[in-house]
Amino acid sequence: MNLERFLKTERPYLTDGGLETFMVFFKGYELPCFSSHVLLLTDEGRAALSVYYKSFIELAEKTRRGYMLGTESWRLNSAWAPELGLSEAEMLLMNERAVEFAKSIRIQNQALDVPIVLNGIVGPLGDGYVIDQLRSVTEAMDAHRPQVHCLAKAGVEMISGLTLSYSAEAIGIANVAREVDCPVVISFTVETDGCLPSGETLAEAILAVDAATGLYPLYYMINCAHPDHFNGVMTGSDDWKARIGGIRANASRRSHAELDEAEELDAGDPVELGEQYVELQKLLPSLKVMGGCCGTDHRHISCIAES
């Protein structure tokens, strides 16, 4: 099993960049509610995704890394299905299709010397940047259960909850993943002050999830924030930092509010971003999975991998 290889090896793993921003700003696709699942609905969209992922997997082989392959399912949960014009049944079917497509990508690239982990992507029930509704752990479990159970049944090797903005939702996702005995990764986003949109510090959020779930998450990540926004809270030798195993940073230093208002893509400086990952690796002893989020593409991940 590729996940077991990942857990046993010291070999770093790459993942992709900001798929949605790349497809919107560079390829001209429209993604309703920022949901990439629509690319699975056409031959053209699937071909674009195949080319997109192949370049990252080839980079992983070139730099002797493994690869975390995510599903096109970040928005495919019960809360967002109505916004996407999907019934619950249609939403679950799209999750199944997302897993099958990821499996096809792994098959297409099986000749490369790259261990590929199938990673079921789960997104927030709300916006991600703005908390419009604070759900309890039970409410989060009820809302996330259909998607997480579906992804696990379809054959993903792990679940990753990305762009989470408060600990209760993260606890809900972890609890539901445990119901189906599926490993889970929790990824929080932070504002420019290094705190979650909820006001929780990273340390508070990680410790809260670990306490509530009995350390169930494999590790934690930070995504959809620039390193400048969180590297200042990584000082010292606190044990909670050892739980951070992945970073998917934004290319831009802009705040979430500024990114929401931006009409042009801010791709930042790929070389500088790669250098910042080197510094983060010094601060985070367990850092093993590296990729990008909004505004990043193959240039950024290449600089990160080569740095």
Hey, what domains does the chain have and what are their CATH numbers? 2-306 (3.20.20.330)
DSSP 8-state class, residue 6: H
CB under 8 Å to 196, separation ≥6 — which residues?
165, 166, 167, 188, 189, 190, 202, 205
Instruction: Specify the pLDDT at position 257.
Output: 82
| Average pLDDT of span 12-40 | 97
Number of residues assigned to the chain: 307
User: What is the average pLDDT score of the chain?
Assistant: 96
Q: What 3-state class would DSSP assign to 8?
A: helix
Tell me, what DSSP letter sits at residue 248?
E
pLDDT at 189 over 70: yes
User: What are the tokens at 110?
Assistant: 């099986």
Task: Give 197-232 pLDDT, tens digit per residue.
Answer: 999 999 999 999 999 999 999 999 999 999 999 999
Where do we find the tokens 């900001």? 18
Distance CA 52, CA 50 (A): 5
* Residue 84 and residue 72 in contact, taking contact as beta carbons nearer than 8 Å: no
pTM higher than 0.95 for the full model? yes
| Phi, psi of 295, deg, nearest 5 | 90, -10
| Runs of H (alpha helix) within 186-283 | 202-213, 227-230, 256-261, 270-283
| Amino acid 258: pLDDT | 85
